[in-house]
Amino acid sequence: MIIKNVRLYPIDSPVIELGYLVAQDGKITEIGPMSQLPAGDFGQVYDLPGHCVLPGLVDAHCHLGMFGDALGFENSDGNEYGDPCTPHVRALDAVNPFDRCFQEARENGVTTVLTGPGSANPIAGQALTMKTVGSRTEEMVLKAPAAMKFAFGENPKRVYNERKKSPVTRMAVAAIMRENLSKAKEYAEKIRRAGADRKELPAFDAKLEALIPVLEGKLPAHFHAHRAVDILTAVRIAKEFNLKYVIVHGTEGCLVAEHLAEAKATVIAGPIISDRSKPELVELNIENPGTLVAKGVTLAMCTDHPVVPIQYLFLSAAMAVRGGMSREDALRTVTLTPAVIAGVGNRVGSLTKGKDADLLVIEGDPFDVTQRPKLVFIDGEAVVS
């Protein structure tokens, strides 16, 4: 397959004003300006003057397939209420690939997502990274687990206050995280000391087993935190346990932008086009993402689907531009940066030779939000045409 006479946005290199892209066996094999187009038979030809080609969009924080579209409690599988510590539960066992929102994602150029548990529990469970096409989750998965979800603030407080059990304060939310991370650290040390002969091996504990990769830095902690106070607590706990971490939402991030930049924190911002539906969203605005990027914070945009439907990911980036972010930075926040955060930057997120041929073709200006994608490819196959 070849797409030619198009404007190419590689993301990891400068825009090619008039270029071509070749894909074979699901991978990008050639990309360059039309003046360097080699001779040859490339199979299916898409000659598309006036169009632009972007990498497929990546949403690094959503609950796609976890909270079923219009199906209510029967298909609401994102929060395991009743136990504030559930690191052993896996999105892999809950995602419904037949949810029609996967189709809506594809139709709007979202080709990869990191989806997983909600924010009811201080330690909520394992998220995964997957493509948005397929009928078996195992075949769609790129990385599982991809993150361990933790949650601060209003959501766990409200959930467990209604159940008349702990945690009902920010103190207890943080304490539950510390307690279980400390137990997992002790559990891992006992396993290490048991050695090859397995003497005095501790009794198996699924929760603590699941937290060991987090402590080892192999699995990033994704901290749900809207308010500045929760963001700073997340950074504090991450430092205490030397965790690889990401701040998810960061609604009041602009209030502590210098601290986040100093800590070299990564933020997944959003949703930014929802209403201020609860107290910790009182500072919600479209300027926050641009402010964080301007301060040097690594940032991706998200929809938090179904809070904002997955099809509005690029609209979120466009609103960030309205709020002061540059177009170049905005494109990166929905392509390469979220791909890296999701652990698949080597596969998707840029138009790079050797990466998956996940492509979004738009006529005219990519920031014209009245346009629908003309073509969407996943692994070199047209899923929208």
Write out the H or E segment, with its range, that includes residue 289.
helix 288-294
For residue 46, what is the domain's CATH number?
2.30.40.10
Report whether pLDDT(134) > 90.
yes
Query: Given the structure tokens 């047209």, which residue do they identify?
Result: 382
Q: What total number of domains does the chain contain? A: 2
In this structure, the answer to whether residues 364 and 329 fall within a common structural domain is no
Cα 148 to Cα 74, 288, 342: the distances in Å are: 24, 25, 11
pLDDT of residue 157: 97
Q: Residue 113 — very low, low, confident or very high, per pLDDT cuts 50/70/90?
A: very high
User: Both 70 and 34 in a single domain?
Assistant: no
Q: What is the mean pLDDT of residues 272-287?
A: 94
> For 314-332, what is the mean pLDDT?
98
Residues with Cβ < 8 Å from 168, sequence gap 6 or more? Answer: 157, 160, 161
Q: What is the mean pLDDT of the chain?
A: 96
Mark whether 90 and 206 lie in a shared domain: yes
Nearest by Cα to 244 from 260, 212, 222:
222
Lowest mean pLDDT among 116-120, 196-200, 299-303, 335-339: 196-200
Check pLDDT > 80 for residue 1: yes
* Owning domain of residue 377: 1-55+349-385
pLDDT at 361 exceeding the cut of 90: yes
Q: State whether 211 and 327 are in the same domain.
A: yes
Q: Does 116 share its domain with 185?
A: yes
Same domain, 73 and 214: yes
Q: CB neighbours (10 Å) of residue 239?
A: 11
Region 209-220: mean pLDDT is 98
| 83 and 4 in a common domain | no
Does 380 lie in the same domain as 252?
A: no
CATH number, domain containing residue 113: 3.20.20.140
Work out the average pLDDT over 209-214: 98
